[in-house]
Structure 1
């Protein structure tokens, strides 16, 4: 592979304008396709095949036309009078009426208006009608009164009230800004009268907004790091250019894909975040090697050698990131799979651009590739012609690795115990999907949810919908006989209908017996009395772990009802759907973690021909991921030091996605750092004659010297790459949506722990402690594993032989 990449790098250098123009044409064509074909992103996190989704199918078949309750564009409009006052005040009543009227007059299409209007008036009418309907079905009046009270729209103290409606949009993710603006304008009418008016619900979520400042901040910091690394204005621009081109093509491809696939609105953000970080890093590695080779080789050959050696590592590292992201498909979760595929494609394009466009840019700059030198930086002479520090002899990398060499056990203990302790908060990890109840406290959605919880209890924000399909009800079921006796057969319309109604009432009674259910009640029965919808209000918020226990209790209860009556029962609704997704993600995480760690160990065995190096790399990866999770939980969930104003559960798909990304990036640094060490080890060992299997001071010395020299050569570039990647990720904390902020923070912390604690601390420390065992591998395993020359050793040897031959030819007499 190294030889092929050498030819590619050299060809790209010599045919620079063809390569650059080709990539620009691809970029423009991608943009054109995106503009022509792109469709809106969705805000759904649905997973097919979950119990809640299957219950939605049952609901749709028995109540056609009612839509998907999990994605219905519903709005909760909440009114609150000042403390000590009531909404029944004449001035407040008039303001509420005007607010509601404004929405009716200015929304072209509005649905779900059964509970829409002034809550003071609608609540009384709704409760009265409900009592009449339920008593007609044979429900005792006392039970009907409880049902009516549970769906009240005015709090007991009459200070808080709410009303609901649905936008005319097909689902919550296609609601327009204009429709939302109508609600915002209406809210100002009530606020002007002294009321607190807030709005929430699935149809009133904030649209995805991505601040371009995040990318600009990341690119700006990356440019400064590149300046310090190369000390050249010209060289510092090239990795930025290639990364922007690669990410641009990847992002346009993601937009184009929306024409055929419903993609979640987080997908392009993550693709850009990851693609930008790896794009700059990969170009940095190749450019750094080019500078080294350019000291002794002409431009085309130096470019070829840089792509053949560092480019080989880039291909391997990019492949690990690609595989880790694509492997998210194994979790069997659609939206997560597409996130992984989108990010993986962006990484793939970034690798191709780095391997071809970077040497082409070097060809354009030619001998001025490192022009615009910054005095006193990266080995350049400082002011007054004073020589700058010799980076080969005196550098922070060399000083650090020599410290590790003296105290390897101390460094290892500090890293393992420190990161292990940092991982402890993971035991308290809570996961949830975005909802009004965990939105930022400053948003109207969060304020609306808090007001509803204050006036009607936390369960009002977490309704659970029980769907009963009574087509298979057993009229002879013993448990149904008392209920059937209370329902006249003539009133029900027949024995089958009588049994169905009895099963509905029995299901309600059993649901009310589940611990944590505040109240369960029938809210709808279809026309032929074969199915019913039952609302179960839990005593907990949507992201409360107790609510999950209640949902499980209801499902266990439903199974018992099914066995006793012959009906089919499902639990669904937005809350249940999100809970199922969270559980599916949690269950998939251990399997995925095992796959990526196992993959890491196998790949690194192939590359480094060692047992211990891959094992240390894999265990180190687990430590860095655990510590990153732990710190993220402390800050974003537990609110450490008040760094975030709205601590809450961690986004459900962050852990599994973060495992994939961090794995890929961790392998990047492992490859770029340890290949340098192995390269030196093979040269030193070859000079000492090999001495396989012998306890040799010379071989032990080779291991230690190779570790020092390899670290010294790789540490500066890896440090720069890690700082760039951290900066790109952390810059996304500037985004307005909390879950994107958490992604940026968590990935930045993960890279920090992995690059500076694991790769630059634990890895060299274990090598010094292991000595000769560092590069040991059983001969039988060495024979069966394929050979992969990531270091480009064969290419270097061939090139040196060619150069020696040419020099010999020049020395021959004419």
Structure 2
């Protein structure tokens, strides 16, 4: 592969204008198609084949005339009276009426709803209707009163009330900015009249807004790091140019993909974040190698050699990132698979750009590639130094690795114990999907959810909708007999089968009401032929509380018991259930995915380094860095350490598995780029040491390889950290968390694992570092990632000239 890449790099250098024109043409074509064909992104995180989705299907089949509650574009508008007043005061009533009237009159696609209106007037009417309906169906009056109280929209002290309505669009993603503007106008009308008004609900979430400042900040910091790396303003700009073009093509291709399939709106954000980071880093590695090679060979050959050596490592590193991202399909969750494939495609483009566009730009610049030099940095001499003195200046990397060589056991202990301790908070990991209850505290969505929880209990934000299909109910079921007999009035036309169906609905509510975490379970709808019912289960706790999660699992266990006893089919759905099913599926997939990526890492590194111990250490280091990144993220964003974030909340459900995949890929990047230099030195000297050296051959290879590779790996890590951490500036909480978590993953992996644990463990293992069983060495294919054979061939050709 190294020889093929050498020819590609040399060809790109010599055919520079063809390469540059081709990439710019691809960018223009993809951009044009994306702008004309794209259909936009969605806000949904739904998946197929889960219990909640199955229950939703049953709901739609049995209640075809009703709106699907899972896809309904619902809005909650919550009112709170000022201190000392109640909502039934005349001025408060007038303010509420003004808000309600503005929505009903001006909102395009207004869909209304049973609980829409002034809550002071709607609540008693609603309660009276519920009591009448429930008692007419045979429920005891005491039960009917309790059910009515659970559906009230006015708090007992009359200080908080809410109204709900639907926007008549297919789903919440179809809500337009004009809809939100009208609702916001209504909120301001109420506020101007002296009442507090907040709004939330599935149809009133903030649209995804991406601030371009994150990319700009990341690029500016990357430019500064590159200037210090190369000591040249021109060279520092080259990786940025290639990364921007690569990310542009990748992001536009993702936008174009929306013409053919639904993509979540987080998809391009993560692809841009990862693509920009790896795009800069891969170009940096190749450019750094070119800088070392052009001093001893013609520039075209130097470009080919840089692509053949560092480019081989780029291909391998990029492949590991791509495989890790594609492997997210293991979770079998559609939106997560799409995110993985989108990010993987962007990384793929970044690799191709680095391999071809960088040598093409070098061909254009020629001897000017490293102009704009800044004295005293990037290997440039100070005014008092000669070039020879600058080159011989002792590097910080060499100083550090020699320190590690003196106390390797201490370094290993500090890293393992330190990162291990930081991983402890993982035991407290909580996960959820975005909702009003987890939004930032200063948003109207979060304040509406908090007000509803204050007035009606936290469970009002986390209802479960149970669908009971009683087509196949067993009328002779022992458990139903008392409830059936209670309906038998002795009349000749008594329908026992229908009575059995209604008895089933009552049996379900009684069973669910027996749970201590259930505030109330009640029948809210029965279809025309009495063959199916909807049961609302209101918990005491909110959607992000662990007790709500545990309650859902209890309900699912009871579902199976009810089905066995009655013969009916029972399922639980609703937004809370749908989101929890996604979270549960992600949790169950994480151990499998982690085992796959760690096993893959060890196997690939065995192929590259022809060693058993190096891959094992790399795998251990990966686990430590991921654990520490998780721990730090949980401490700051979930537990609210030191008040660094204003809204601590459970982590978004797909963040952990995505963090594992990305950190794995990036960890392999640094492992390859650092250790290949060590392996290159060891094989170049055929495992023999330098005469009269106080270091063993393994120690020499580690020191020399680290001294050559640490500078560029450090620069690459700093760039990635800057790109990721800049996304904390984004408005949406889960994007902030992603940026922070990925930055921490890179920080711990690059500076603690690759820069400390890896060399220290090599010093401790000695010759065992490069040991590999002969039988395994024979059967595994040889991958010359270091480009040793390529360099040898080039040197032989030069010797014959």
Q: Same fold (TM over 0.5)?
A: yes
In structure 1, what is the Cα distance between the partners aligned to 2:531 and 2:20? Answer: 67
Q: What is the alpha-carbon root mean square deviation over aligned residues?
A: 1.6
Q: 1:757 aligns with which of 729, 752, 757?
A: 752
Q: Residue 624 of structure 2 corresponds to which residue in structure 1?
A: 623
Matches within 5 A, 1:217-236: 217-236=217-236
Is 1:155 equivalent to 2:150 in the alignment? no
Q: Residue 284 of structure 1 corresponds to which residue in structure 2?
A: 284
Is 1:37 equivalent to 2:37 in the alignment? yes
Shift of 1:688: 6.2
Q: Any idea what SS the aligned residue of 1:5 has?
A: helix
Query: Relative to 1, partners in 2 of residues 1:392 and 1:757: Cα closer, same or farther, differing over 3 Å?
Result: farther
Q: Residue 740 of structure 2 corresponds to which residue in structure 1?
A: 745
Per-residue deviation, residues 368-427 of structure 1 (Å, max 9, x unmatched):
000111111112232466769635540110100010011111111110000000000110
Give yes or no for contact 1:6–1:308 (8 Å, CA) kept in 2. Answer: yes
Q: Any idea what SS the aligned residue of 1:632 has?
A: helix
Q: Residue 335 of structure 2 corresponds to which residue in structure 1?
A: 335
Matches within 5 A, 1:75-224: 75-224=75-224
Query: Relative to 1, partners in 2 of residues 1:90 and 1:552: Cα closer, same or farther, differing over 3 Å?
Result: same
Q: Any idea what SS the aligned residue of 2:685 has?
A: helix
Query: Relative to 1, partners in 2 of residues 1:171 and 1:766: Cα closer, same or farther, differing over 3 Å?
Result: same
Query: Relative to 1, partners in 2 of residues 1:73 and 1:368: Cα closer, same or farther, differing over 3 Å?
Result: same
Q: Any idea what SS the aligned residue of 1:161 has?
A: strand
Shift of 1:118: 0.2
Query: Relative to 1, partners in 2 of residues 1:464 and 1:769: Cα closer, same or farther, differing over 3 Å?
Result: same
Per-residue deviation, residues 326-348 of structure 1 (Å, max 9, x unmatched):
00011111110000000000000
Per-residue deviation, residues 137-156 of structure 1 (Å, max 9, x unmatched):
01111111111000000000
In structure 2, what is the Cα distance between the partners aligned to 1:182 and 1:688? Answer: 77
Give yes or no for contact 1:375–1:382 (8 Å, CA) kept in 2. Answer: yes
Give yes or no for contact 2:614–2:769 (8 Å, CA) kept in 1. Answer: yes
Shift of 1:84: 2.9
Shift of 1:744: 0.2
In structure 2, what is the Cα distance between the partners aligned to 1:492 and 1:270? Answer: 64
Give yes or no for contact 2:115–2:165 (8 Å, CA) kept in 1. Answer: yes
Is 1:63 equivalent to 2:63 in the alignment? yes
Query: Relative to 1, partners in 2 of residues 1:483 and 1:228: Cα closer, same or farther, differing over 3 Å?
Result: same
Q: Residue 10 of structure 1 corresponds to which residue in structure 2?
A: 10
In structure 2, what is the Cα distance between the partners aligned to 1:723 and 1:688? Answer: 33
In structure 1, what is the Cα distance between the partners aligned to 2:773 and 2:557? Answer: 53
In structure 2, what is the Cα distance between the partners aligned to 1:606 and 1:87? Answer: 72
Per-residue deviation, residues 199-224 of structure 1 (Å, max 9, x unmatched):
01111111000000000000000001
Q: 1:771 aligns with which of 756, 766, 775?
A: 766
Give yes or no for contact 1:200–1:446 (8 Å, CA) kept in 2. Answer: yes
Per-residue deviation, residues 662-717 of structure 1 (Å, max 9, x unmatched):
0000000000000000000112235569xxxxxx9999711101100000000000
In structure 2, what is the Cα distance between the partners aligned to 1:709 and 1:491? Answer: 98
Per-residue deviation, residues 576-622 of structure 1 (Å, max 9, x unmatched):
11111111101100000000000000000000000000000000000
Matches within 5 A, 1:289-304: 289-304=289-304
In structure 1, what is the Cα distance between the partners aligned to 2:494 and 2:289? Answer: 85
Q: Residue 810 of structure 1 corresponds to which residue in structure 2?
A: none
Q: Residue 494 of structure 1 corresponds to which residue in structure 2?
A: 495
TM-score by length of 1: 0.97
Q: Any idea what SS the aligned residue of 1:515 has?
A: coil
Query: Relative to 1, partners in 2 of residues 1:688 and 1:387: Cα closer, same or farther, differing over 3 Å?
Result: closer
Is 1:723 equivalent to 2:718 in the alignment? yes
Q: Any idea what SS the aligned residue of 1:361 has?
A: helix
Q: Any idea what SS the aligned residue of 1:685 has?
A: coil
Give yes or no for contact 1:382–1:388 (8 Å, CA) kept in 2. Answer: no
Q: Any idea what SS the aligned residue of 2:268 has?
A: helix
Bigger drift between 25-34 and 384-393 goes to: 384-393
Q: Any idea what SS the aligned residue of 2:166 has?
A: strand
TM-score by length of 2: 0.98
Give yes or no for contact 2:95–2:194 (8 Å, CA) kept in 1. Answer: no
Give yes or no for contact 1:600–1:618 (8 Å, CA) kept in 2. Answer: yes
In structure 2, what is the Cα distance between the partners aligned to 1:70 and 1:493? Answer: 37
Shift of 1:553: 1.4
In structure 2, what is the Cα distance between the partners aligned to 1:518 and 1:598? Answer: 47
Bigger drift between 269-278 and 193-202 goes to: 193-202
In structure 2, what is the Cα distance between the partners aligned to 1:240 and 1:264? Answer: 27
Give yes or no for contact 2:688–2:697 (8 Å, CA) kept in 1. Answer: no
Is 1:533 equivalent to 2:538 in the alignment? no
Shift of 1:108: 2.1
Shift of 1:499: 1.4
Query: Relative to 1, partners in 2 of residues 1:164 and 1:422: Cα closer, same or farther, differing over 3 Å?
Result: same
Shift of 1:365: 0.3
Shift of 1:491: 11
In structure 2, what is the Cα distance between the partners aligned to 1:760 and 1:65? Answer: 64
Matches within 5 A, 1:402-413: 402-413=402-413
In structure 1, what is the Cα distance between the partners aligned to 2:569 and 2:221? Answer: 59
Is 1:471 equivalent to 2:471 in the alignment? yes
Give yes or no for contact 1:39–1:258 (8 Å, CA) kept in 2. Answer: yes
Matches within 5 A, 1:600-619: 600-619=601-620
Shift of 1:501: 1.0
In structure 2, what is the Cα distance between the partners aligned to 1:389 and 1:99? Answer: 77
In structure 1, what is the Cα distance between the partners aligned to 2:481 and 2:319? Answer: 65
Matches within 5 A, 1:563-602: 563-602=564-603
Give yes or no for contact 1:685–1:702 (8 Å, CA) kept in 2. Answer: no
Bigger drift between 558-567 and 673-682 goes to: 558-567
Matches within 5 A, 1:675-694: 675-685=676-686
Shift of 1:65: 4.1
Q: Any idea what SS the aligned residue of 1:390 has?
A: helix
Bigger drift between 534-543 and 492-501 goes to: 492-501
Give yes or no for contact 1:729–1:744 (8 Å, CA) kept in 2. Answer: yes
Q: What is the number of residues matched between the two proteins?
A: 800
Query: Relative to 1, partners in 2 of residues 1:172 and 1:320: Cα closer, same or farther, differing over 3 Å?
Result: same
Bigger drift between 169-178 and 4-13 goes to: 169-178
Query: Relative to 1, partners in 2 of residues 1:399 and 1:510: Cα closer, same or farther, differing over 3 Å?
Result: same
Give yes or no for contact 2:518–2:540 (8 Å, CA) kept in 1. Answer: yes
Query: Relative to 1, partners in 2 of residues 1:391 and 1:162: Cα closer, same or farther, differing over 3 Å?
Result: farther
Per-residue deviation, residues 1-44 of structure 1 (Å, max 9, x unmatched):
00000000000000000000000000000101111111121111
Q: Any idea what SS the aligned residue of 1:585 has?
A: helix
Give yes or no for contact 2:682–2:688 (8 Å, CA) kept in 1. Answer: no
Shift of 1:93: 0.2
Give yes or no for contact 1:492–1:498 (8 Å, CA) kept in 2. Answer: no
Shift of 1:70: 2.1
Per-residue deviation, residues 705-741 of structure 1 (Å, max 9, x unmatched):
1100000000000000000000000000000000000
In structure 1, what is the Cα distance between the partners aligned to 2:565 and 2:492? Answer: 24
Q: Residue 372 of structure 1 corresponds to which residue in structure 2?
A: 372
Shift of 1:782: 0.6
In structure 2, what is the Cα distance between the partners aligned to 1:5 and 1:675? Answer: 17
In structure 2, what is the Cα distance between the partners aligned to 1:169 and 1:247? Answer: 34
Shift of 1:308: 0.4
Segments of 5+ residues of structure 1 without an aligned counterpart are 690-695, 807-814
Give yes or no for contact 1:378–1:391 (8 Å, CA) kept in 2. Answer: no
Shift of 1:112: 4.4
Shift of 1:174: 1.5
In structure 1, what is the Cα distance between the partners aligned to 2:561 and 2:799? Answer: 84
